[in-house]
Amino acid sequence: MEPGADGLRWSTVFFDLDGTLADTIPLIIASYQHAFREVMGVEVDEADARSWIGRPLLPALLEVAPDHGHELDRVYREWNLANTARLIRTYDGIVELLEALDDAGARVAVVTSKRRETALLALEHVGIAHVEVAAALEDTADHKPDPAPLRHGAARLGVDPRDAVYVGDATVDLRAARAAGMAAVGVTWGAGEADELVALGPDAVCTTVAELSGVLLPGRL
């Protein structure tokens, strides 16, 4: 899609949250490690924890530890909430990118596998509380890589998925975008591996926020 007169390549931009808008990766990994240590007395490898990011929490835990999933979920959420303010970080340039998209007239919203309350807390801590959460965990029965959350977000904003892009750091994000009929842009500063993102053939894979800005606002360069 060519940029319009406003400089936008897509009129609606949906963002993943964890590892895309907010640097929650250390918080998530530490939360997993704490939960498994407390509930099962085992250590979780960081690579394993990273591979679970982007999926809804409880299903991932039940898959890994069927007999302990619910207790792991409870302990994870309790520790994660208590340590969010201490461990969450901002990504340089994200606030400015969102401001530029807003100035250009883009519709911007978040589609996440987090619960809405937790997502809003994370957005507040990184200074972008004004961004709407168009779809959260409780909004759909199916979750990424299923397209249901993105379709829900598009319906909530009243936009055509073909006019939208989803930006995320995980392969499940890109697969969900394609299945929803949206453009797909991967970013490498989160949990995903660059080669795995590239292998899915998205519209772009960006290594910096400045590069992402160039993809979303090519007419502003």
**CATH T-level assignment (fold) for domain 25-87:** DNA polymerase; domain 1 (1.10.150)
Per-residue pLDDT of 156-190, as tens digits, reads: 999 999 999 999 999 999 999 999 999 999 999 99
Residue 3: its pLDDT value, please?
A: 65
**What are the structure tokens assigned to 184, written together?**
């797909």
DSSP state, residue 16: -
**What are the structure tokens assigned to 191, written together?**
């949990």
Active site residue ranges: 16
13, 106 Cβ separation under 8 angstroms:
yes
Rounded to the nearest integer, the mean pLDDT of the chain is 95
Please, which residues bridge with residue 23 across strands?
89
Rounded to an integer, the average pLDDT of 134-163 is 97
Residue 4: its pLDDT value, please?
A: 62
Residue 163: its pLDDT value, please?
A: 97
CA–CA dist 53, 51 (Å, integer): 6
Per-residue pLDDT of 73-88, as tens digits, reads: 999 999 999 999 999 9
Class of domain 12-23+89-220: alpha beta
Residue 55: its pLDDT value, please?
A: 87
CATH 3.40.50.1000 in the chain: give the residue spans.
12-23+89-220
CA–CA dist 36, 49 (Å, integer): 11
CATH 1.10.150 in the chain: give the residue spans.
25-87
19, 189 Cβ separation under 8 angstroms:
yes
